[in-house]
Amino acid sequence: MCNYCGCQEQTLIRDYYAEHNGSRDLADRARRQMDEGRYDEAREHVTLLLAELEGHWAGEEGGLFAVMVDRYPDDFADYIRPLVEEHRALATFLRELDVTDAEHRAAFAAQVLELHEHMMREEDSLFPASVVTFDGEDWTRAIDGWQQAHPGRELIAD
């Protein structure tokens, strides 16, 4: 996570970071539980991870990503498309994961590393880019997309 551009001062970006951190924690906890043979707990955390990620992805794709692609397609569409594809692939993987299978556990460990890298690509590029390119209307649209993906939740307050 960067601290150089100030993007975390933007409320929506702060929420995306919080969701990333929560997902990282759930993934790491599930991986440790698998390593320790605590499969029931690991399965619960994988289920929680998938739910957290699906809400997060819906907020990104319907909010920040949608604005970036709509307003600045030449700059962001080719960068965002593979990120969305990675969202879909990871969701499928997590749904099919058998935490009791050694090959699946090894694949999960690799997926966790890829998830960390995926999040870093967003944090080090798209989040700072949004701060320098978005106007007020863009932020309103992006926040609306997040809120539609998180009914009943509020953004982290200042």
Q: Rounded distance, CA 143 to CA 25, Å? A: 24
Amino acid of residue 87: H
Please write the tens of the pLDDT for every residue from 63-102.
999 999 999 999 999 999 999 999 999 999 999 999 999 9
Task: Say whether 149 sits in a helix, a strand or coil.
Answer: helix
pLDDT for position 19: 95
In this structure, how many other beta carbons lie within 10 angstroms of the beta carbon of residue 158?
A: 6
Of 57, 48, 43, which is closest to residue 108 (Cα–Cα)? 43
Cα atoms found within 13 Å of the Cα of residue 22, Cβ hemisphere only: 15
Global pTM reads 0.91
Give Cβ neighbours of residue 82 (< 8 Å, ≥ 6 apart).
Answer: none
Please write the tens of the pLDDT for every residue from 17-68.
999 999 999 999 999 999 999 999 999 999 999 999 999 999 999 999 999 9
| CB of 130 closer than 8 Å to CB of 142 | yes
Q: Which position has the higher pLDDT, 53 or 158?
A: 53
In this structure, how many other beta carbons lie within 10 angstroms of the beta carbon of residue 44?
A: 16
**b/e code 118-141 from CB counts within 10 Å (16+ = b):** bbeebbeebbbbbeeebeeebbeb
Q: Domain-by-domain residue ranges, the chain?
A: 10-149
Q: Rounded distance, CA 143 to CA 40, Å? A: 36
